[in-house]
Amino acid sequence: MGGFNYENNKKNPRIYKNSEELTLCSVFVKEFKISLHPILCHLNDGSLHQRLMQLFLKIKALDKDSVPGSRNVGQGLKTLKGQQLLREFVFTPKAGIRQHFGNPRIDALDFSLEWARFNPAAAKFPKGATHFELFYCLLVYDAATNTFVTYEAPILRRSKEDRSERLVQTLEGGPTKEEGLQYIPVLGLRFMEVLGEEEYANFGKDAVGIEVLGVYMS
């Protein structure tokens, strides 16, 4: 009979090792999405999970240090190519963030962000949107346990009428750098319509943006 046979696959070293690595990658994607929940909860994209699996399988394949069957995303992210793949991954094709506001400076010690000139009017507001919220999260990944810890900055809200300003976003709880950990700063953007005290989410494809700013090693 056809179909998946676990015992037979265990007897085939290549298939078994690939299966083990796929499991490790699946757990990574699950934990990654959970850690990004403060931003991802505003995004309605049924294709994202599969696209993330494809991305992290590519990054996993860059692991040249682990033995077959144990190759993992964490090791792949230690390579410059792996970091580039994650940094350039397009979460939301219709809603860029840095293309509107420019690249913030990232503090090497506490991972705070700074824009010397942050201009809310530079954002491409979707039809009907009057305001946006800017999210900043830092994902701290521990490869030894395949888990993340998320630090968040207070959510920033601005309208299209607000003027340019120097803007600093500081993470609450201040992460402490530890050897062996990986630090992934992520920006999120959500547009909305505000009428008096009422708020209405704008769920168009260009209404939510997510971007990874880089991968930093301790």
The rounded radius of gyration (Å) of the Cα atoms in the chain is 20
**Which tokens belong to 162?**
């607000």
Q: What is the DSSP string of 51-110?
A: HHHHHHHHHHTT--SSPTT---HHHHTTSHHHHHHHHH--S-TT--SHHHH-PPEE-TTT
If one counts every other C-beta atom within 10 angstroms of the C-beta of residue 93, the result is 10
Q: Where are the domains of the chain?
A: 6-217
Tens-binned pLDDT, residue by residue, of the chain (218 aa): 455 454 555 555 555 467 889 999 999 999 999 999 999 988 888 899 999 999 999 999 999 999 988 899 999 999 999 999 999 999 987 778 888 899 999 998 999 999 999 999 999 898 889 999 999 999 999 988 889 999 999 999 999 999 999 999 999 987 888 888 999 999 999 999 999 999 988 767 778 999 999 999 98
Containing 30, the helix (H) or strand (E) segment is: helix 13-35
